[in-house]
């Protein structure tokens, strides 16, 4: 079993390894040089980080290896992890972040926690005080292995140079295999200085770890039977389709069966937004149809998603009438939140490929009509006013519409957290997979600006547009310095309502409009952008919007666009906390 799983994993990897980067083993090198050479061996071209005392030997080696590996100095270690996340999310490759001990290491934690809950492959390397000082409360000593344990897929402390190659090889293997996740490797300063005989071998497997469980053919047959018999089936897919590189298989499954398919926020872009079988987003601010009909379908087919509470609303009244099939790589996710009737544990690509021949062709025309009818209601009550507003204030939705027109849906949209995020995910038109980069599970404000840097640097040929609220923007605004120094030609859109809008919306709806600490007195964002030599435009009137977006999208350089939107707009539809998905509100 293990052997087959391993073989499969190796097959799936397709690690790009430019030959010119391959270095002949040198006999004796320092631990710090070994770290850099391990990264090069793993195909790392860019890493993000911030120097400091305990990691200085590695920075010294990075200086020597310039041209072979590009280190990007962020303005805060949190920015380094988010940039590494953006890099990983758009490319599918492992993102790498580097930091010193103590505060450098603790500053990584938010990004690591974000990567853990959103299954993003990261390798974070932290310097640590010399091993003889461990536990002595030395300067900038912190127990980062202890601190990061609950938010890493794996972590490890290295105190001997000779252990570096094997541990880093394991780190990359663990980060990217199976259900991906963040790994933190803490390396003491003496291990960085120590010399040893270096050689590198990639990790091919770990005896205690089965990244890809074998697909159970019987479960698959049962799933197919349920799907074929279903009169009102509904697919809800998540990021597992993207992480498993199963987009094509997924498309074939829905096209053969004609099953309406809805996405979780992290599943967005796996198939084009415009695909006729794509019925929209599920969850708290998702589309009306798929939410309401979750409680009407007879078979619910979940693929690579984990039934997050923001997706399910009240579990006690979630899809109770339906048989539930769960395609999932992580056995611990099965029956965690929603009891399944059939669980197909395994890799999405393999499971769906094996499922396809077992499925009967269908169209489910009448069932589709239900989605269309509900979409019409949502369009009239919500979408039309968002995208084609007639009131004076600008809406977030119309900004997205203009971006869609200019990008033709080819841009990667990196959103932060809050109202603008929901609007971005609801209205962005995606044509390409891995194009919706957002902080889903952790909901990390400040994610978007650094993540967009990582995304743009990983895929320079792609248009990357960061869409951020005025609150989240100021949480990592210092990364404008990184954009300036690295000349990252990314597009930054701040939708400014001078509020922490999502919290304000909740205060309005559930706290009798007591707007406690949500109003923002903001600085002049244009001046700030110009301080970093980034071209900046502010839009206050609808008449200026189209030209401004066009100007931004045709710019070859970094561009900052501030759109002053209506201050107290709300995001609808909305499932209030504790309510059922079918109790979704349109106003």
Pairwise CA distance, residues 524 & 536, whole Å: 11
Contact present, 267 and 275 (Cβ < 8 Å): no
Q: How far is the CB of 208 from other proteins (least distance, A)?
A: 4
**C-alpha dist (Å) from residue 114 to 104, 108, 441, 444:** 17, 10, 7, 7
Q: How far is the CB of 25 from other proteins (least distance, A)?
A: 24
Query: Who contacts 487 (Cβ-Cβ below 8 Å, separation ≥6)?
Result: 557, 558
Return the residues of window 330-369 that contact other proteins according to CB under 8 A.
Answer: 330-332, 334-336
* Minimum CB distance to other proteins smaller for 184 or for 411: 184
Please select the residue that binds other proteins; options are 133, 145, 356, 579, rule is CB under 8 A: 145
For the CA atoms of 267, 270, 274, 276, the dihedral, rounded to the nearest 10 degrees, stands at -90
DSSP annotation string for 98-122: EE-STHHHHTTHHHHHHHHHTT--E
Q: Return the structure tokens found at 195.
A: 């010399």
Per-residue mark of binding to other proteins, 444-473 (x: CB under 8 A) = ------------------------------
Pairwise CA distance, residues 456 & 259, whole Å: 35
Q: How far is the CB of 105 from other proteins (least distance, A)?
A: 15
Residue 3 binds other proteins (CB under 8 A): yes
* Minimum CB distance to other proteins smaller for 336 or for 462: 336
Name the residue among 358, 330, 362 with its Cα closest to residue 344.
330
Q: At what angle do helices 419-427 and 396-407 cross, to 10 degrees?
A: 40
Give the residue carrying structure tokens 């990007």: 72
* Minimum CB distance to other proteins smaller for 175 or for 490: 175
Name the residue among 317, 294, 296, 316 with its Cα closest to residue 305.
294
Please select the residue that binds other proteins; options are 37, 71, 93, 153, rule is CB under 8 A: 153
Q: How many residues does the chain have?
A: 587
Point out which residues pair with 196 in neighbouring strands.
Answer: 29
Q: How far is the CB of 7 from other proteins (least distance, A)?
A: 12
Q: Is 343 exposed, middle or buried (CB count within 10 Å of its CB: 0-12, 13-18, 19+)?
A: buried
* Minimum CB distance to other proteins smaller for 206 or for 520: 206
Q: What angle do CA 526, 532, 536 make, to 5 degrees?
A: 30
Return the residues of window 485-504 that contact other proteins according to CB under 8 A.
Answer: none
Per-residue mark of binding to other proteins, 294-333 (x: CB under 8 A) = ------------------------------------xxx-
Pairwise CA distance, residues 342 & 339, whole Å: 9
Candidate segments 145-153, 224-232, 250-258, 402-410, binder of other proteins by CB under 8 A = 145-153
* Minimum CB distance to other proteins smaller for 331 or for 489: 331
* Minimum CB distance to other proteins smaller for 335 or for 384: 335
Please select the residue that binds other proteins; options are 1, 27, 316, 543, rule is CB under 8 A: 1
Residue positions annotated with a catalytic role: 77, 139-140, 189, 502
Q: Return the structure tokens found at 66.
A: 């310039």
* Minimum CB distance to other proteins smaller for 25 or for 146: 146
Pairwise CA distance, residues 497 & 519, whole Å: 9
Candidate segments 16-24, 117-125, 142-150, 282-290, binder of other proteins by CB under 8 A = 142-150
496 φ, ψ (degrees, to nearest 5): -100, 110
For the CA atoms of 79, 83, 89, 94, the dihedral, rounded to the nearest 10 degrees, stands at -110
Please select the residue that binds other proteins; options are 155, 404, 438, 482, rule is CB under 8 A: 155
**C-alpha dist (Å) from residue 14 to 10, 94, 118, 138, 530:** 8, 12, 22, 43, 42
Return the residues of window 184-243 that contact other proteins according to CB under 8 A.
Answer: 205-209
Contact present, 170 and 202 (Cβ < 8 Å): no
Q: How far is the CB of 392 from other proteins (least distance, A)?
A: 49
Q: How far is the CB of 9 from other proteins (least distance, A)?
A: 14
Please select the residue that binds other proteins; options are 12, 92, 138, 156, rule is CB under 8 A: 156
Q: How far is the CB of 345 from other proteins (least distance, A)?
A: 11
Residue 149 binds other proteins (CB under 8 A): yes
Helices (H), 468-581: 470-473, 480-486, 501-510, 525-531, 542-554
Q: How far is the CB of 152 from other proteins (least distance, A)?
A: 9
Q: How far is the CB of 325 from other proteins (least distance, A)?
A: 19
Please select the residue that binds other proteins; options are 123, 174, 299, 305, rule is CB under 8 A: 174
Helix (H) or strand (E) holding 150, with range, is none
Please select the residue that binds other proteins; options are 67, 150, 357, 516, rule is CB under 8 A: 150
Q: How far is the CB of 339 from other proteins (least distance, A)?
A: 9
* Minimum CB distance to other proteins smaller for 205 or for 481: 205
* Minimum CB distance to other proteins smaller for 347 or for 378: 347
| DSSP category for residue 208 | T
* Minimum CB distance to other proteins smaller for 168 or for 449: 168
Pairwise CA distance, residues 35 & 32, whole Å: 5
Q: Is 3 exposed, middle or buried (CB count within 10 Å of its CB: 0-12, 13-18, 19+)?
A: exposed
Candidate segments 96-104, 155-163, 249-257, 479-487, binder of other proteins by CB under 8 A = 155-163
Binding residues vs other proteins (CB under 8 A):
1-3, 145-146, 149-150, 153-157, 174, 205-209, 330-332, 334-336
């Amino acid at each position: 079993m293990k052997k087959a799983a391993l073989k499969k994993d190796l097959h799936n990897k397709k690690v790009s390894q430019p030959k010119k980067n391959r270095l002949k083993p040198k006999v004796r090198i320092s631990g710090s040089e070994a770290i850099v050479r391990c990264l090069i061996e793993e195909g790392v071209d860019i890493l993000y980080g911030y120097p400091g005392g305990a990691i200085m030997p590695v920075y010294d080696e990075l200086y020597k290896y310039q041209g072979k590996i590009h280190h990007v100095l962020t303005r805060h270690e949190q920015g380094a992890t988010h940039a590494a996340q953006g890099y990983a999310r758009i490319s599918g490759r492992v993102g790498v972040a580097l930091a010193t001990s103590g505060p450098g290491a603790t500053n990584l934690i938010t990004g690591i926690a974000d990567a853990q809950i959103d299954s993003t492959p990261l390798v974070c390397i932290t310097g640590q005080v010399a091993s003889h000082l461990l536990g002595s409360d030395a300067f900038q000593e912190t127990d980062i292995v202890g601190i990061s344990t609950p938010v890493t897929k794996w972590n490890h402390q290295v105190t001997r140079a000779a252990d570096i190659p094997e541990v880093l090889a394991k780190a990359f293997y663990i980060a990217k295999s199976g259900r991906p996740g963040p790994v933190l490797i803490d390396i003491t300063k003496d291990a960085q200085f120590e010399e040893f005989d270096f050689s590198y071998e990639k990790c091919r497997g770990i005896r205690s770890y089965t990244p890809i469980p074998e697909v159970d053919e019987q479960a698959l047959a049962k799933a197919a039977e349920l799907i074929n018999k279903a009169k009102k089936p509904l697919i809800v897919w998540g990021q597992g389709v993207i992480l498993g590189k199963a987009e094509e298989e997924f498309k074939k499954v829905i096209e053969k069966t004609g099953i309406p398919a809805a996405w979780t926020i992290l599943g967005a872009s796996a198939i084009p937004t415009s695909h006729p079988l794509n019925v929209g987003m599920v969850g708290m601010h998702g589309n009306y149809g798929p939410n309401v009909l979750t409680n009407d379908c007879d078979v619910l087919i979940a693929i690579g998603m984990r039934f997050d509470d923001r997706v399910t609303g009240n579990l006690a009244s979630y899809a109770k009438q339906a048989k539930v099939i769960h395609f999932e790589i992580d056995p611990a996710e099965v029956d965690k939140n929603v009891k399944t009737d059939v669980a197909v544990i395994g890799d999405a690509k393999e499971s769906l490929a094996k499922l396809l021949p077992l499925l009967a062709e269908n169209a489910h025309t009448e069932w589709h009509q239900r989605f269309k009818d509900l979409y019409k209601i949502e369009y009239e009550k919500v979408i039309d006013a968002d995208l084609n507003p007639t009131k004076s204030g600008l809406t977030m939705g119309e900004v997205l519409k203009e971006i869609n027109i200019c990008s033709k849906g080819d841009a990667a949209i990196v959103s932060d957290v809050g109202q603008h995020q929901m609007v971005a995910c609801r209205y962005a038109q995606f044509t390409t997979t891995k194009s919706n980069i957002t902080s889903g599970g952790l909901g990390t404000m400040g994610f978007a600006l650094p993540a967009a840097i990582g995304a743009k640097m990983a895929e320079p040929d792609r248009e990357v547009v960061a869409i951020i609220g005025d609150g989240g923007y100021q949480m990592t605004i210092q990364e404008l310095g990184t954009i300036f120094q690295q000349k990252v030609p990314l597009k930054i859109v701040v939708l400014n309502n001078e509020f922490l809008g999502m919290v304000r919306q909740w205060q309005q709806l559930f706290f009798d409009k007591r707007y406690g600490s949500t109003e923002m007195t903001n600085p002049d964002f244009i001046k700030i952008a110009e301080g970093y030599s980034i071209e900046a435009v502010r839009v206050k009137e609808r008449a200026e919007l189209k030209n401004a977006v066009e100007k931004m999208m045709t710019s070859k350089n970094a561009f900052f666009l501030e759109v002053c939107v209506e201050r107290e707009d709300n995001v609808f539809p909305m499932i209030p906390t504790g309510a059922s998905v079918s109790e979704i509100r349109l106003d």
